[in-house]
Structure 1
Amino acid sequence: MNSRLSVETLAADAVEPITSAGDARLGIAVLAGIAVIVLLITRLRLHAFLALTIGSLALGAFAGAPLGKVIASFTAGLGSTVAGVGVLIALGAILGKLLADSGGADQIVDTILERASGRAMPWAMVLIASIIGLPLFFEVGIVLLIPVVLLVAKRGDYSLMRIGIPALAGLSVMHGLVPPHPGPLVAIDAVDANLGVTLALGVLIAVPTVIIAGPVFSRFAARWVDVPVPERLVPQRPSEDLATRPGFGVTVVTVLLPVVLMLSHALVEIVVDDPEARVQRITAVIGAPLIALLAAVVVGMFTLGRAAGFTRERLSTTVDRSLAPIAGVLLIVGAGGGFKQTLIDAGVGDMILNLSEDWSIPALLLGWLIAVAIRLATGSATVATISAAGLVAPLAADMSTTHTALLVLAIGAGSLFFSHVNDAGFWLVKEYFGMSVVQTLKTWSVMESVISVVAVSLVLLLSLVI
């Protein structure tokens, strides 16, 4: 039984497209709709939620679809997407907040750094970022880890790029390739992929990708850009005696718990070829994303919160504060789902399917190319993932379980390609590291491209053997 993220979307029930426009007009409508989104985000600095909403309406208008049908498609897509992934995003945010507020994140960082020095430090940083990046949003991970990067570089007299690039690579790879991050979750939902298989293959691809884009590439980045640690941004950390923190082992176990539960279901499905077997039914429940993340949150309240001395009131406050910042993320993801559904109901999926047959481009490569184009245009990895997944969803209909998962990963890889000036992450890295625009392009932007190219290359290689 496949792990599902939501109920069937409107696409599954749609008998005919909402417009009778031919492929030419529909293709122009798609380009125009995406152009509207790009213009609103990059030029007018409009919030991505509003840009995606307006872009969906523009797409329908250019395609000649009735406004009522466009609105119905958009709202259905928005509702089903939020219903499917909204709870998971909220649970991930709670777990991340518990990790940060309890000092568990600091404990992981400090413990690993105590055991690493010299040449091992870049490898320690990529390990830290990969572990921390599992439950945290990319932006939260940057804010949490960059002060640590600056401290390590300053106190150990290391090159800022040699320490910083591995940390950024770890966060970025987790964000683009490994659920339960929002982008991969939405793509899994869009193409009806198996979450456990996608998670297993995502981790398999993430390991060599993060090694090449992190510790290996950081050697070149350190030669290309040599900037001093910005003194004004180096944090003054309080004395360790001022707070009680959870232990390293229990913190790592808590963070990895949802991953282990979801992977257990995927492994049992592979080994036990009987959907009615008791072990498969049990792992299907505990390996469901909702149960896995909920279990981690409940466990984290004791292993992280209570271990740090949190009272019931403090735990409640932590949960409250974790949910407020994700409102914007939920709206963007929901609007992206609405845009995706508008694309599907307009018949764009069938058009892409026909064109892909004429172009003779493999589906995995096509998904990557579309995600790259949207990433370059909008600057948003999440928007690129959602839009590309909606466009190539029909291609997954006849794919095997493993190849559907690889399609998700190809799209995720494309969504990370060459972050530049229209990406908020670009400016965040630039300001924290005290670099110029050109220096940021030569380091951060190239690193993102390395991740994208290496990951899709591994996806294509795996598709030949599994």
Structure 2
Amino acid sequence: MTSLSVEILAADAAEPITSAGNAQLGIAVLAGIAVIVLLITKFKLHAFLALTIGSLALGAFAGAPLADTIKSFSTGLGNTVAGVGVLIALGAILGKLLADSGGADQIVDTILAKTGKKAMPWAMVLIASVIGLPLFFEVGIVLLIPVVLMVAKRGNYSLMRIGIPALAGLSVMHGLIPPHPGPLVAIDAVGANLGVTLALGLVVAIPTVIIAGPLFSKYAARWVDIQAPEKMIPTRPSEDLEKRPGFGATVATILLPVVLMLVKALVDIVIDDPENGVQKVTDVIGSPLIALLTAVIVGMFTLGRAAGFTKERLNSTVEKSLAPIAGILLIVGAGGGFKQTLIDIGVGQMILDFSKSWSIPALLLAWLIAVAIRLATGSATVATISAAGLVAPLAEGMSTGEVSLLVLAIGAGSLFFSHVNDAGFWLVKEYFGMNVGQTIKTWSVMETIISVVGIVFVLLLSLVL
């Protein structure tokens, strides 16, 4: 396992935009994060505005010139959006096709029809994991929670016994598996191989989601034994459709980008020759842009046309899918701006100075930094983006596998203990009809289990890579 190299980090550090000492920088970081948390929680300000103001406050507290702070924030925002913006848009289109065509319902109905009572929690984690592959976490929740509530009501299950596995599946996919925005940004920031990260992410995700989902749900159901709230059980979104896409075609469409990226990773490992014709082809079709674009085009036929969509309906679906992601793009971009401001004021060097006496592995350091930012900001994506920027120099000298594990360590840390400054916390609380204490004992504990189990498996893998 590669450990923190002070010399490497110091050599790669850019000239900071402020001459502040470590004490002032530490105060500036805490103050900047506090401003973001206060604006989001107390004043209910949109995360984009909070991150923008917080970045400016960070620079001001660090004594950086305002013009330099603005430049750092703008550069980080632009680079982040340029790197993942198209991928976010394609993922949103695929998710909308999946929901509107009834493909998601087809997966759910098929699996539940073949699942016994004892296996239902395992079925829910499987459904959430499969559906969560192309969807943002918030979109996945909106799509899956109505299904969770209907299953709990119909089978007379404790809501936690069904809900926790579904939430675990979505959360693990969101934090560890590209093409979700957080992992994609981290991959770009540290220069990781996307396919290798995806493959190792699946290795870590499977045991993690089992422990945090079906296994933990047994205890969560005892701690908070509630039934599905009647008022939250809506009409299923695809009941007005005359036909739905087939189960096999739907699953194949969802998994297509993942398969293409995995093929690229395998070819890169086996052939490892950039001049090889096969590798050149797989490098193209396995790139995130082409893989997702291919899935969207295929999905228009296997999902949209199969559901009887006209060309006009397909165009309308695409248009409707793009409007809601404007906020996501801005939040992700502002998170990148905040990250760049952290880097440019010299926080990386500050961490170096504090870490000189530490004997701490790089992977564990990356996890701890992501945990701290997650606890402070409440955003897994912001935690991933910011932590990735801070620890990117650690990837220097690492093997391909180790760099991918660095991304997964950051992703695991970004999921630690969701609480009141996390939008997901309130979303789960309201949908499940819980109070704050019940939400902490179930959702927050589940997120912490995912984070801790995730880093444990990352560290175990690092012993053999």
Amino acid at match of 1:71: I
Amino acid at match of 2:449: V
Q: What is the deviation of 1:158?
A: 1.7
Contact map agreement 1:356 1:363 (CA 8 A) in 2: no
Match of 1:46 in 2: 45
Match of 1:7 in 2: none
Normalising by structure 2, what TM-score? 0.94
Match of 1:268 in 2: 267
After superposition, where does 1:409-424 map in structure 2 within 5 Å? 409-424=408-423
CA distance in 1, matches of 2:138, 2:195: 25
Match of 1:30 in 2: 29
Q: What is the deviation of 1:357?
A: 3.2
Structure 1: gaps (5+ residues): 1-11
CA distance in 1, matches of 2:300, 2:255: 15
Tell whether 2:308 aligns with 1:309.
yes
What's the secondary structure of 1:465's corresponding residue?
Answer: coil
After superposition, where does 1:277-356 map in structure 2 within 5 Å? 277-356=276-355
CA distance in 2, matches of 1:279, 1:29: 51
CA distance in 1, matches of 2:292, 2:230: 39
What's the secondary structure of 2:119's corresponding residue?
Answer: helix
CA distance in 1, matches of 2:12, 2:242: 55
- From the superposition, tell whether residues 133 and 68 of structure 1 become closer, same or farther in structure 2 (CA, over 3 Å): same
Contact map agreement 1:14 1:345 (CA 8 A) in 2: no
Amino acid at match of 2:22: D
Normalising by structure 1, what TM-score? 0.94
Contact map agreement 2:81 2:333 (CA 8 A) in 1: yes
CA distance in 1, matches of 2:12, 2:94: 35
Contact map agreement 1:193 1:404 (CA 8 A) in 2: yes
Contact map agreement 1:350 1:394 (CA 8 A) in 2: no
Amino acid at match of 2:275: E
After superposition, where does 1:215-294 map in structure 2 within 5 Å? 215-237=214-236, 242-294=241-293
Q: What is the deviation of 1:384?
A: 1.3
Contact map agreement 2:208 2:453 (CA 8 A) in 1: yes
Match of 1:175 in 2: 174
Contact map agreement 1:416 1:451 (CA 8 A) in 2: yes
Contact map agreement 1:128 1:167 (CA 8 A) in 2: yes
The one-character-per-residue Cα deviations of 1:92-142 (angstroms, maximum 9, x if unpaired) are 000000000000000011011111011111111100000000011111111
Match of 1:117 in 2: 116
Contact map agreement 2:264 2:286 (CA 8 A) in 1: yes
CA distance in 2, matches of 1:82, 1:461: 33
Match of 1:62 in 2: 61
What's the secondary structure of 1:65's corresponding residue?
Answer: coil
Contact map agreement 1:77 1:340 (CA 8 A) in 2: yes
CA distance in 2, matches of 1:15, 1:234: 53
- From the superposition, tell whether residues 14 and 159 of structure 1 become closer, same or farther in structure 2 (CA, over 3 Å): closer
Match of 2:161 in 1: 162
Match of 2:385 in 1: 386
Amino acid at match of 2:453: V
Q: What is the deviation of 1:210?
A: 0.4
CA distance in 1, matches of 2:237, 2:79: 45
Match of 1:372 in 2: 371
- Taking only aligned residues, the RMSD between alpha carbons, in angstroms, comes to 1.7
Contact map agreement 1:42 1:378 (CA 8 A) in 2: no
Percent of pairs identical after alignment? 82
Runs (4+) off by over 3 Å: 12-15, 236-242
CA distance in 2, matches of 1:409, 1:355: 24
Q: What is the deviation of 1:20?
A: 2.5
Tell whether 2:136 aligns with 1:137.
yes
CA distance in 1, matches of 2:275, 2:253: 30
CA distance in 2, matches of 1:180, 1:319: 19
Tell whether 2:450 aligns with 1:451.
yes
Amino acid at match of 2:247: F
Amino acid at match of 1:156: G
Q: What is the deviation of 1:43?
A: 2.1
- From the superposition, tell whether residues 394 and 355 of structure 1 become closer, same or farther in structure 2 (CA, over 3 Å): farther
Contact map agreement 2:72 2:340 (CA 8 A) in 1: yes
What's the secondary structure of 1:275's corresponding residue?
Answer: coil
CA distance in 1, matches of 2:347, 2:235: 53
Structure 2: gaps (5+ residues): 1-10
Contact map agreement 2:17 2:68 (CA 8 A) in 1: yes
Match of 2:7 in 1: none
CA distance in 1, matches of 2:368, 2:60: 26
Q: What is the deviation of 1:39?
A: 2.0
Number of aligned residue pairs: give it: 455
Amino acid at match of 2:431: Y
After superposition, where does 1:193-212 map in structure 2 within 5 Å? 193-212=192-211
Contact map agreement 1:410 1:459 (CA 8 A) in 2: yes
- From the superposition, tell whether residues 118 and 358 of structure 1 become closer, same or farther in structure 2 (CA, over 3 Å): same
Tell whether 2:164 aligns with 1:151.
no
Amino acid at match of 1:93: A
Contact map agreement 2:164 2:443 (CA 8 A) in 1: yes
What's the secondary structure of 2:178's corresponding residue?
Answer: coil
Match of 1:17 in 2: 16
Amino acid at match of 1:318: T
Contact map agreement 2:152 2:227 (CA 8 A) in 1: no
Contact map agreement 2:363 2:409 (CA 8 A) in 1: yes
- From the superposition, tell whether residues 238 and 88 of structure 1 become closer, same or farther in structure 2 (CA, over 3 Å): closer
Match of 2:6 in 1: none
The one-character-per-residue Cα deviations of 1:239-295 (angstroms, maximum 9, x if unpaired) are 968521000001000000000111111111111121211111111100110000000
- From the superposition, tell whether residues 150 and 63 of structure 1 become closer, same or farther in structure 2 (CA, over 3 Å): same
Contact map agreement 1:349 1:393 (CA 8 A) in 2: no
The one-character-per-residue Cα deviations of 1:326-375 (angstroms, maximum 9, x if unpaired) are 01110011111111111222222233234333222211111111111221
